[in-house]
Amino acid sequence: MHRLTALLAGLVLVAAGAAATAERIKDIADIQGVRSNPLQGMGLVVGLSGTGDGAALTTRVLANLLRRFEGLNVAPADLVGDNVAVVMVRAELPPFARRGVKIDVEVSAIGDAESLQGGTLLMTPLRGADGEVYAVAQGPLIIGGFSASGERSAISQNHTTVGRIPRGADVEREELATFVEDGTVTFNLKNPDFSTAEAVRTAVNALFADAAETIDPGTVRVRMPMRLARGQVASFLDRIGQLIVDVDMPALVIINERTGTVVVGENVGISTVAISHGNLSIITQEKEAFSQPLPFSRTGTTGRIRQTDITAVEEEGPLHVVERKVSVQELARALNAMGLTPRDLISIFQALRQAGALQAELKVI
């Protein structure tokens, strides 16, 4: 029962009962040019209860801030204390964010601050890759955890040096996305595939004759109608995005050796093979013993010695014949019947790939 529970926790079966799944175009493709832009800036978090950092960088940034905004000339050496922390502030500028729109902000400690709990971010300009300021962030942080310490013990929950400020930045500069080029709109598939791209082209052409063409497995270009008004572009793209197409899923097995997770796609097949899998365990134990001389000996002394006991245990691995499977459900039943753990599955899938019996791509992450 324990092995079955571990197997169900580690083996994620992706199956829909058919060779392809029906999805909306808007869920499987992105419109080229419609994307967010990363913003970042360096700022200060104040109001910490002795959990800030005392780095020289923090005092210099604070001294520059006081001089620029308050007109106070204070030497960095005079600014002592650990109630301030220098932080990196990040945000994503949405593609159609107008001036005055509020966006979320993520704040991360740069120095050796112990916690940002209870802190407030001072006004921080957020710049894009071109160096221009696109938003300004400030406000109290939400940590999602806590930390407390005494003289001899400490307790913490979650990560307390990273926080968020929901709607903590105001957009000051617009960066509107451009997605129409020469009267065409390009759709980029999130998972490039010839079959899926052709399904998208066929569905669009059934609604708008000869409007779509497949450029490559990940790109479908759609030409808008000649008489389409500017105010009708959104409606045109919405009608295309709502179209249902069959998404072809490649045969793929994904393995994460760090966590013991195995993800098996629905089209994965295994040729008829015989599998024998056993575990070899080597147990090493270190023991301390004492060596004493013979009774009435005048030359010997009592000494401490270390003894090492090594035991090798090899489990039996009976030979199991696995017939060629036509569905991921049948494959799961066959592997479950062998009583395998997720770690066993990783080894078996790698061996099947080497033997040429795994009819799928094996990807290790």
> Residue ranges of the alpha helices (H) in 208-273?
233-241
Final residue belonging to a domain, choices 226, 248, 270: 248
Residue type for position 201: R
- Over residues 262-312, the pLDDT tens digits come to 888 777 777 776 666 555 444 556 566 667 777 766 676 777 776 666 555
pLDDT band (50, 70, 90) for residue 5: very low
* pLDDT value of position 338: 66
pLDDT at 251: 81
Q: Which of 255, 246, 251, 247 is nearest to 267 (CA)?
A: 251
Start-to-end Cα distance in the chain: 28
Burial of 90 (0-12, 13-18, 19+ CB in 10 A): middle
Instruction: Specify whether 69 is located in the same domain as 166.
Output: yes
| 261 & 301 share domain | no
* Single-letter amino acid, residue 24: R
Q: What radius of gyration do the chain's Cα atoms show?
A: 31
Range of the domain at 297: 281-314
Has residue 146 got a pLDDT over 80?
Answer: no
Q: Mean pLDDT, to the nearest integer, of 30-36?
A: 91
Is the domain of 220 the same as that of 146?
A: no
Same domain, 58 and 163: yes
Note the pLDDT of residue 199: 94
Question: Percentage of the chain with pLDDT > 90?
Answer: 34
Together in a domain, 218 and 135: no
CA distances from 64 to 44, 202, 288 (A): 11, 61, 63
Q: Look at residue 334 and give its three-state secondary structure.
A: helix
Q: What is the mean pLDDT of residues 321-348?
A: 65
CATH of the domain at 189: 3.30.1360.40
Compute the distance between CA of residue 197 and CA of residue 221 in angstroms, rounded to an integer: 10
Give the C-alpha separation, 115 to 113, whole Å: 6
* 310, 326: one domain: no
d(C-alpha 45, C-alpha 143), whole Å: 13
Predicted confidence (pLDDT) at residue 143 exceeds the cutoff of 70 = yes
**Between 276 and 6, the higher pLDDT residue:** 276
In a 3-state reduction of DSSP, which class is residue 40? strand
Task: Tokens 């650990």: give the residue.
Answer: 82
Determine the Cα–Cα distance for residues 129 and 135; give it in Å rounded to an integer: 13
pLDDT at 96 over 80: yes
Q: What are 230-269's pLDDT values in tens digits?
A: 889 999 999 999 999 998 888 888 888 777 778 887 777 7
> What is the structure's pLDDT at 211?
93
pLDDT in tens, 52-68: 887 777 777 777 777 77
Query: Is the model's pLDDT at 10 over the cut of 70?
Result: no
Assess whether 270 and 359 both reside in one domain.
Answer: yes
Q: 276 and 354: one domain?
A: yes
Question: 121, 137, 171: which is the final residue of a domain?
Answer: 171
155 and 100 in a common domain: yes
Output the pLDDT for position 328.
Answer: 57
Note whether 241 and 299 are same-domain residues: no
Q: Are residues 130 and 74 in the same domain?
A: yes
Please report the pLDDT score of residue 316 as a whole number: 54
* Domain termination site, one of 139, 171, 203: 171
Looking at the structure, tell me whether residues 234 and 350 fall in a common domain: no
CA distance 115 to 125: 23
pLDDT tens readout for residues 349-360: 787 778 777 778
| Number of domains into which the chain is organized | 4
